[in-house]
């Protein structure tokens, strides 16, 4: 007798809340850990076509570290859609104005570039300072994925 393969349904997924302090952590290493949790790859029931992930709260996003000379050489490009509408900013400039965008863009690039990935990035809650308003969800420390 063959056993059937278990396929989790979207209504059966149990979501948990995790909190991580980004102070002193390396950008890419932290982003890959967060992306894995947002996708749900840390769960034994992971399937790539269902949003299995958990919520992640990141505090102290302005204190995230980068290696080498990336503060001056890494560039973030945006385009308005008009001719000549390319805007290029360095990591240092983005950190001064919007410190949470550095980590959000790094995590977003590691998620699927589909409607499923757009749903997953909504479960990431970033805060530049040490405080967050999600104490009611009783977040626990992010596991080593």
Give the torsion through C-alpha atoms of 103, 46, 144, 117, to 10 deg.
0
Q: Do 15 and 55 touch, CB atoms closer than 8 A?
A: yes
- pLDDT (0 to 100) of residue 145: 55
Q: Do 126 and 100 touch, CB atoms closer than 8 A?
A: yes
Q: Which CATH number, 3.90.1180.10, 3.40.50.2000, 3.40.50.300, 2.60.120.380, labels domain 16-67+99-141?
A: 3.90.1180.10
Burial 8-27 (b: 16+ CB within 10 A, else e): eeeeeeeeebbbbbbeebeb
- pLDDT (0 to 100) of residue 110: 97
Give the torsion through C-alpha atoms of 8, 11, 17, 18, to 10 deg.
20
Domains of the chain, by residue range, sit at 16-67+99-141
- pLDDT (0 to 100) of residue 33: 97
- pLDDT (0 to 100) of residue 14: 93
- pLDDT (0 to 100) of residue 7: 86
Q: Do 51 and 114 touch, CB atoms closer than 8 A?
A: no
For tokens 């997953």, name the residue. 120
Q: List all residues 6 or more positions away from 73 whose beta carbon is below 8 Å from its beta carbon.
A: 90
Q: Which of 18, 17, 27, 109 is nearest to 61 (CA)?
A: 27
What the block records as the tokens of 31 is: 């982003």
Q: List all residues 6 or more positions away from 106 whose beta carbon is below 8 Å from its beta carbon.
A: 27, 28, 31
One digit per residue, pLDDT tens: the chain, 145 residues? 677 888 888 888 999 999 999 999 999 999 999 999 999 999 999 999 999 999 999 999 999 999 999 999 999 999 999 999 999 999 999 999 999 999 999 999 999 999 999 999 999 999 999 999 999 999 999 987 5
């Amino acid at each position: 007798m063959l056993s059937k393969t278990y396929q989790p349904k979207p209504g059966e997924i149990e979501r948990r809340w995790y909190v991580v302090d980004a102070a002193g952590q390396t950008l890419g290493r932290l982003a890959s850990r967060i992306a894995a949790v947002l996708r749900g790859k840390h769960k034994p029931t992971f399937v790539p076509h269902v949003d299995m992930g958990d919520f992640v709260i990141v505090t102290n996003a302005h204190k995230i570290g980068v290696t080498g000379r990336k503060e001056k050489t890494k560039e973030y490009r945006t385009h308005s859609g008009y001719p000549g509408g390319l805007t290029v900013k360095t990591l240092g400039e983005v950190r001064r104005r919007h410190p949470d965008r550095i980590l959000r863009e790094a995590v977003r690039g590691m998620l699927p570039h589909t409607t499923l990935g757009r749903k997953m990035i909504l479960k990431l809650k970033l805060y530049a300072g040490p405080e967050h308003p999600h104490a009611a969800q009783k977040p626990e420390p992010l596991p080593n994925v």
